[in-house]
Each structure stands twice: as C-alpha cells, then as structure tokens.
Amino acid sequence: GAVVSQHPSRVICKSGTSVKIECRSLDFQATTMFWYRQFPKKSLMLMATSNEGSKATYEQGVEKDKFLINHASLTLSTLTVTSAHPEDSSFYICSARGLFFSTDTQYFGPGTRLTVL
C-alpha cells in the first residue's frame, strides 16, 4: 500500500513553455500533498503544501505564479511550471499523506526530472 505515482518521469522542454507534472496517490486518499525540489547532490526543499479543495501554501521564496499547484481531488495534485527557464531545471518530487494512516508519514512519488533547454 501507500503508492504514489508521478507523471511524467522525465521531461525536456524549450524555454518559455509550460510543463505540467501529475502526482497521484494510487491506493489511498491523500488529504495533503507536498511538492519538493531537489538539486543535484542536495537535499529536498519543500516548495508548497496543498490540501484538497483549497489553495496551496507556498514556502518563502517560491513564486506562486510560476509554480501553479492544483489539488482537485483526494488522489491527484498537479504542479505546473509556467514559462519555464533553464534555471527551473531540477528534480521535482511530490509526496502524499494519507487520511487514515496511523502516523503522519509522507509517501513519495518517484520524481520528475525536468530539463529546460
């Protein structure tokens, strides 16, 4: 149980285009989903927290208009990188926390590697 998927796993796009990344909890309902960014050989940095049906809470320094997050259902959250630039190239990873889990463990998706040319 507690499987989280992400799609796509890898995307290459041109500068100026927008990219949407999907995060799905496959076998549980996720009340809260989190989006992280990870640079090479670095730790994970939380970008935003999203609760189903409400606006995402962004961490300081993360541009809301650039990284659009939608959490439309208890099993799906999307991150859209708008007008992507090469500095947005990174590994984006989502996690989800379940509604009825006995602990507050976050389960992570496999990540999406974004390369902006």
Binding mask 44-83 for another protein (x = CB under 8 A): x-x--x-x-----x-x------------------------
Query: Is 95 one of the binding residues for another protein (CB under 8 A)?
Result: yes
d(CA 106, CA 16): 32
Interaction between residue 42 and another protein (CB under 8 A): yes
- Is 82 buried (19+), middle (13-18) or exposed (0-12) by CB count in 10 A? middle
> Which CB atom, from 105 or from 115, has the smaller least distance to another protein?
105
Q: Say which residues have a Cβ less than 8 Å from residue 58's Cβ, sequence separation at least 6.
A: 47, 48, 64, 67
Contacts with another protein by CB under 8 A lie at 2, 32, 34, 42-44, 46, 49, 51, 57, 59, 91, 93, 95, 103-111, 113
